[in-house]
Each structure stands twice: as structure tokens, then as C-alpha cells.
């Protein structure tokens, strides 16, 4: 109890009051079974033979940073650097092995477009189902419905089951529902690479307009140019450690140089 209070106190002293996201000393370790065992027989045999082996995978190593309200931060890094894990930690899907994460405000994580869509249900039903998961009642969704359909450009298809949609259409619908909320923090994980060029452009515009109304953006990307376009500052992660956290131009230049080198 006591040290919990102490942590809280010390953090209040250290960090600016307008920090929306605070990540302090976060490490994430996964303890994975060396082989996937999903049946009882194997488990018992391995248990008796003492062959149950685990690999510890340290994905993030002692990471600390904070993001202020209204800022937008791009997270750069190569595959497997720990970017998505970091976003999942901030979204509250995982809990860190060590350290604390604080988020002061509402979050909309866009880690996958259309997560939770039901292929059997129609587009319209899915809008309501997905809206409910974001915290809206049926009434509120009815008000939003028209603007969602308009943004997704799917007016003709809303009464069709989702399994007949193309993957681009599903992504468009997912994006349209998610951004029709005004969250304090929008977390985007490489989902913008969907749809045709025109729709991508539309998504980028939507995100900038959200930024102007005060939404904080966390964006994961491989692409330095996208980060430069949408974010003011950038965070570069390599093998679970922060390499650089600075102005977006500088970081993306350094990141691009590093990628070329290898």
C-alpha cells in the first residue's frame, strides 16, 4: 500500500501535469513454452520427464517516456522491435512485467481494423455491435450511423452480410466507426495501409482533423515518411530499447540511415 502511494507521489512531482501518457521503467518479458503444448497428454508426459522448457523473451527493456496532451508521436522500428507490444501495453491489453503505465483520458486503440466484426451479420448490425464495444448505446450509434456510412462510402452495401465484403471495404468500415469517436488518445498500429490511395488520403485528413481538435496520436509505422507527415515527434525503438526520442524529422532521418546501413 505504502509504496504505491510513494510511487504516485514521486511521479506527480517528476512529470508535467499535462502528460497524457506516462510510461516509466517498463519492461515486458514473455515466458513462452519452448514448444506449443495444447493437450493434456503431452503436458503430462513432458511434466513427468521434466521436459517442460520455457524461453524468456524480453521484448521491452526498461522503457520510459511521456507524451503530452495534444502531441502526436510516431513510433518507428523494424519488425519485432517491440512497437506493437508497447502499444498493447499502453492500450491496457497487456500488463507490463515491470514498471508502470498511466493514461489520463479515454483511449481508442486501432490495432486492427474491424476486430470483432461478425462475418455473418450485416454491415449495419456490425456498426452497432462495434459501436457498443467502443461504449456507445444504440441511440448514440443511430445518430452517428449516417456519418459513418458516408465516411466509409458503403451506402449500398450496409444490408449485406460482412462476409461478402472485400477486405478493403471491411477496413474502411472499421476505420470509419473508430474515428467517429473523439478520444483523448488515438492509438494506430499500421492500419492505415489499407484501401485505395483516395481512402488513405481521406484517413490521413481525418487524423489531422482529430489532431486539431486536441486528440493525441500514437502511430506505429515502418514508414518514416508517414511518421514525418503525421507526427511532430518520433520514438525509435530497436530491440526493445529506445534509441532516440526527438523531433520527427531528426529521428526519421536517423532511422532511415540505419535501415540503409543494414
Partner 1 sequence: MQKKYFEYSDKKQKFKRSVNTLTSMVNRNVRNQYRNSVLGILWTVLNPLLNMIVIAMVFSLIFNRREMEGLYYPVYILSGNIVFGLLRTATSNALPCMVKNYDLLSKTRIVHEIFPISNVLSAVVNFLFSMIALFVVMLISLHKPGIGFHPTLLLTVLPYLPLLALFCLGISFILATIYIRFRDIQHIYSVLLTLWMYLTPLFYSLEMIEQHHKAVFLLKLNPMYYYVTYFRQILLGNVPSLLTHGVLCAWSIGMCAVGFVFFHFSKKKFLLYI
- Shortest distance in whole angstroms from residue 250 CB to partner 1: 31
- Which residues touch 104 (CB under 8 Å, ≥6 apart)? 19, 20, 184
Pairing of strands 185-189, 216-221: parallel
**What does the alpha-carbon distance between residue 176 and residue 140 come to, in Å, rounded to a whole number?**
15
- Shortest distance in whole angstroms from residue 94 CB to partner 1: 7
Tell me which residues touch partner 1 (CB under 8 A): 3-4, 7, 25, 30-32, 38-41, 43, 88, 91-107, 109, 111-112, 115-116, 118, 120-121, 125, 128-129, 131-138
CB-wise, 137 or 166, nearer to partner 1? 137
Question: What is each CA distance from 40 to 31, 44, 50, 51, in whole angstroms?
Answer: 19, 6, 15, 14
CB-wise, 3 or 50, nearer to partner 1? 3
- Shortest distance in whole angstroms from residue 198 CB to partner 1: 26
Task: Quickly count: other Cβ atoms within 10 Å of residue 14's Cβ.
Answer: 11
Q: Which is it for the CA torsion 219, 221, 227, 229, positive or negative?
A: negative
- Shortest distance in whole angstroms from residue 254 CB to partner 1: 30
Q: Which residue has the cell 522491435?
A: 81
CB-wise, 122 or 200, nearer to partner 1? 122
CB-wise, 136 or 199, nearer to partner 1? 136
- Shortest distance in whole angstroms from residue 138 CB to partner 1: 8
∠ CA 63-67-69, rounded to 5°: 160
Amino acid at each position: 500500500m505504502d509504496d504505491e502511494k510513494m510511487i504516485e507521489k514521486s511521479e506527480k512531482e517528476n512529470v508535467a501535469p499535462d502528460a497524457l501518457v506516462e510510461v516509466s521503467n517498463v519492461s515486458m518479458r514473455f515466458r513462452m513454452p519452448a514448444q506449443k503444448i495444447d493437450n493434456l497428454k503431452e503436458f503430462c508426459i513432458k511434466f513427468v520427464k521434466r521436459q517442460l522448457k520455457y524461453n524468456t523473451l524480453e521484448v521491452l527493456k526498461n522503457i520510459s517516456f511521456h507524451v503530452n496532451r495534444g502531441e502526436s508521436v510516431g513510433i518507428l522500428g523494424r519488425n519485432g522491435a517491440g512497437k506493437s507490444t508497447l502499444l498493447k501495453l499502453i492500450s491496457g491489453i497487456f500488463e507490463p512485467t515491470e514498471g508502470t503505465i498511466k493514461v489520463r483520458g479515454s483511449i481508442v486503440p486501432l490495432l486492427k481494423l474491424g476486430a470483432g466484426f461478425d462475418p455473418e451479420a450485416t454491415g449495419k448490425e456490425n456498426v452497432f455491435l462495434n459501436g457498443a464495444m467502443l461504449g456507445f448505446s444504440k441511440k448514440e450509434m443511430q445518430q452517428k450511423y449516417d456519418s459513418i456510412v458516408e465516411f466509409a462510402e458503403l451506402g449500398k452495401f450496409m444490408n449485406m452480410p460482412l462476409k461478402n465484403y472485400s477486405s478493403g471495404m471491411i477496413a474502411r468500415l472499421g476505420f470509419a466507426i473508430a474515428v467517429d469517436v473523439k478520444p483523448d488518445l488515438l492509438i494506430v498500429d499500421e492500419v492505415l495501409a489499407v484501401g485505395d490511395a483516395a481512402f488513405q488520403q481521406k484517413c490521413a485528413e481525418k487524423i489531422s482533423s482529430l489532431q486539431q481538435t486536441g486528440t493525441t496520436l500514437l502511430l506505429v509505422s515502418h514508414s518514416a515518411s508517414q511518421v514525418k507527415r503525421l507526427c511532430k515527434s518520433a520514438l525509435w525503438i530497436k530491440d526493445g530499447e529506445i534509441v532516440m526520442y526527438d523531433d520527427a524529422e531528426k529521428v526519421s532521418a536517423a532511422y532511415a540511415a540505419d535501415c540503409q546501413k543494414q
